Structure 1
Amino acid sequence: MSENLLLSTGVKQKIIDWLSEDIPSFDYGGHVVGNEVKTADLFCKKKALKNNTFYCTSTLLSLKILTWIEWYYQEGEEIDVDKSESKRIAVAKVTGPVNKLLQGERVALNLIARCSGIATKARKLAELAKQHGYNGLVAGTRKTTPGFRIVEKYGMLVGGIDGHRMDLSSMIMLKDNHVWATGSITKAVESAKRVGGFSVKIEVECRSLDEAKEAIQAGADIVMLDNFKGKELVSAAALLKEYCCSGDLSSGRSGVLIEASGGITENNIAEYFSDSVDIISMGNITQDVNHIDFSLKVTH
């Protein structure tokens, strides 16, 4: 995979900050082991997609500890621990001063564990969509961990789904609180158009078919049907697609995207697969995900 080419140079500072959090003063254990060059194996102990090699490597390189690293799996490749009698599989071998290896160990393992968990869940969802012939996008949300979003969004990309918007500056999303604070969907969209100009898309969260029609009339680019049940959502999406192409609008809005969100999980996502639904976004990709267990063992 080449997603790591998308990452900004700012990620290096994040890694330095994460390491500083873990080593605020003295590394007493590092003094105990010394700086003799050692080799360590990175093991995966649960079936997963190995997808966080960039972050793991960057963490170790930030400490200037690696003299050599070898990965046994490609980015995004499945690791099937179930096929191993020992219930663990070596995914990489690293070499460097042992005190530095152990300084970066926990931060690197935490990164790869959470990111691989997200990527593994994302891959399951992408495969479900493919199995059902769904041609729209399965996407994450902005329900991410503060300071850790770039890792979590990266995991979504490696897993094969859409990352949705990265931040508040990526797109104007008008949720219920924006509408209530402004007075109406129409007023909120008009104000958004003035500040966002032609280059920033506008999405409106809608709780009913009438709200969705108002958002479309006001000029929204994306309409989110929030907390609709499966059959209800699919029916509403189809009606809105027809509405966008009808004579009820002064100008055609056939390009409006329909997004489903709210209460969607791996267990019920199939209910939302429809040609009328362009995007299915899910917060539990990051909020309800199992970490993948990795460990680092120094050769002895």
Structure 2
Amino acid sequence: MTTENRNAPQAWQLDPLMLDDQIRAFLREDIGYFDFTATLLIDSELTGRFEMRARESMTLAGLAIAARVFTLYDAGVQVEVLAHDGQRVEKGTTLLKIEGPARSILTAERTALNLVQHLSGIATVTATYVERIADTKAQLIDSRKTTPGLRAMEKHAVTCGGGRNHRLGLDNGIMLKDNHIAVCGSITAAVARAKASVPVLTKVEVECDRYDQVEEALAAGADVIMFDNMSIEEMQRSVNLVDGRVLLEASGGVRLETIRAIADTGVDFISVGRITQSSPALDIGLDDAE
């Protein structure tokens, strides 16, 4: 039995039908009514050969999506994929070879590059965080702090960097945050209300920022407890209290400089919003191969 994620080269979080719908919307946004430059300068029958290359070292994400941009825009474009999502590549590596109608390739170029540059940036930063906690039990996970419209793709990029996904959306699980708890009156009341109606396979997570809240959440029957912006000392005390009875997540203000100390407390998951919010786009270019 293998644990390898064979879906890694594709954005498994997004059905191909939905992926094509999103790509069409991205292309419409960029093209408008028509590509003024390519239409005026490039004859419709002219063909071209191009190569997409990494201009710095990186962990790839979104390469299959970028390839689909070209073939969805024009079925006459042929794309040879030479690398795969999740792969670490060095500067100068050729990622795609693209051949076909030159006008179509140049029209779709920026949309394809924007996506693979952005997603590879997320994957590369994620991989850096994952490496920092590699020999601990903690797993890096993402959050819902994503770009509207790009969540599924960005969460795919996190998995390409070796991280795991938290909720894909609000319908993926119950997380009782401070405002939910305040409205319900207490952690105990909120957990009881959630447990009374939640589907049997859906977990209930409770956000806690103090030790006494962890005690209450544990007694109330939470499936997962999140330590929100706790100090290392209070986090360690809470881990000792729980003693493996439920899963534990640390969140809030996690940085590359602090993630190792957090992992060493014994938590199961560490969620980091900045991997999707703050990762820089990487340098990937499309060059004429003639």
TM-score by length of 2: 0.91
The answer as to whether partners of 1:185 and 1:214 remain within 8 angstroms in 2 is yes
Separation of aligned partners in 2, 1:222 and 1:99: 53
1:49 aligns with one of 43, 56, 59: 59
2:202 match:
200
1:251 match:
none
Instruction: Tell me if 1:291 matches 2:287.
Output: no
The answer as to whether partners of 1:117 and 1:290 remain within 8 angstroms in 2 is yes
2:141 match:
139
Alignment of 1:30-179 (within 5 A): 30-32=38-40, 33-35=42-44, 36-81=46-91, 88-130=92-134, 133-179=135-181
SS at match of 1:169: helix
The answer as to whether partners of 2:64 and 2:84 remain within 8 angstroms in 1 is no
2:7 aligns with one of 2, 8, 12: 2
Separation of aligned partners in 1, 2:188 and 2:241: 20
Worse overlay, 66-75 or 16-25: 66-75
2:252 aligns with one of 257, 262, 273: 262
The answer as to whether partners of 2:47 and 2:100 remain within 8 angstroms in 1 is yes
Task: Measure how far apart 1:182 and its partner are.
Answer: 1.7
Separation of aligned partners in 2, 1:282 and 1:234: 19
Worse overlay, 121-130 or 60-69: 60-69
Instruction: Tell me if 1:273 matches 2:256.
Output: no
Task: Measure how far apart 1:150 and its partner are.
Answer: 0.9
Task: Measure how far apart 1:20 and its partner are.
Answer: 1.1
The answer as to whether partners of 2:60 and 2:160 remain within 8 angstroms in 1 is no
1:183 match:
185
Instruction: Provide Cα deviations, 1:205-259, integer angstroms capped at 9, x if missing partner.
Output: 1011111111122121000010012333223212222xx7xxxxxxxxx2x1111
Separation of aligned partners in 1, 2:192 and 2:279: 38
2:3 match:
none
| Residue identity opposite 1:285 in structure 2 | I
Aligned pair count?
A: 280
Runs in 1 of length 4+ with deviation above 4 angstroms?
none
The answer as to whether partners of 1:30 and 1:102 remain within 8 angstroms in 2 is yes
Instruction: Provide Cα deviations, 1:140-177, integer angstroms capped at 9, x if missing partner.
Output: 11100000001110001111111111000111011111
Separation of aligned partners in 2, 1:278 and 1:143: 20
Task: Measure how far apart 1:275 and its partner are.
Answer: 6.3
The answer as to whether partners of 1:65 and 1:96 remain within 8 angstroms in 2 is no
Separation of aligned partners in 2, 1:236 and 1:275: 9
The answer as to whether partners of 2:206 and 2:226 remain within 8 angstroms in 1 is yes
Task: Measure how far apart 1:124 and its partner are.
Answer: 1.4
Task: Measure how far apart 1:74 and its partner are.
Answer: 3.1
The answer as to whether partners of 1:135 and 1:275 remain within 8 angstroms in 2 is no
Instruction: Provide Cα deviations, 1:161-203, integer angstroms capped at 9, x if missing partner.
Output: 1111100011101111111122111121122123313121110
1:247 match:
none
Task: Measure how far apart 1:125 and its partner are.
Answer: 1.7
Would the alpha carbon gap of residues 19 and 65 (structure 1) be closer, same or farther in structure 2, given more than 3 Å must change? same
Worse overlay, 154-163 or 289-298: 289-298
Question: Identity across aligned pairs (percent)?
Answer: 32
Listed as ranges, the gaps of 5+ residues in structure 1 are 82-87, 245-253
Separation of aligned partners in 1, 2:181 and 2:35: 51
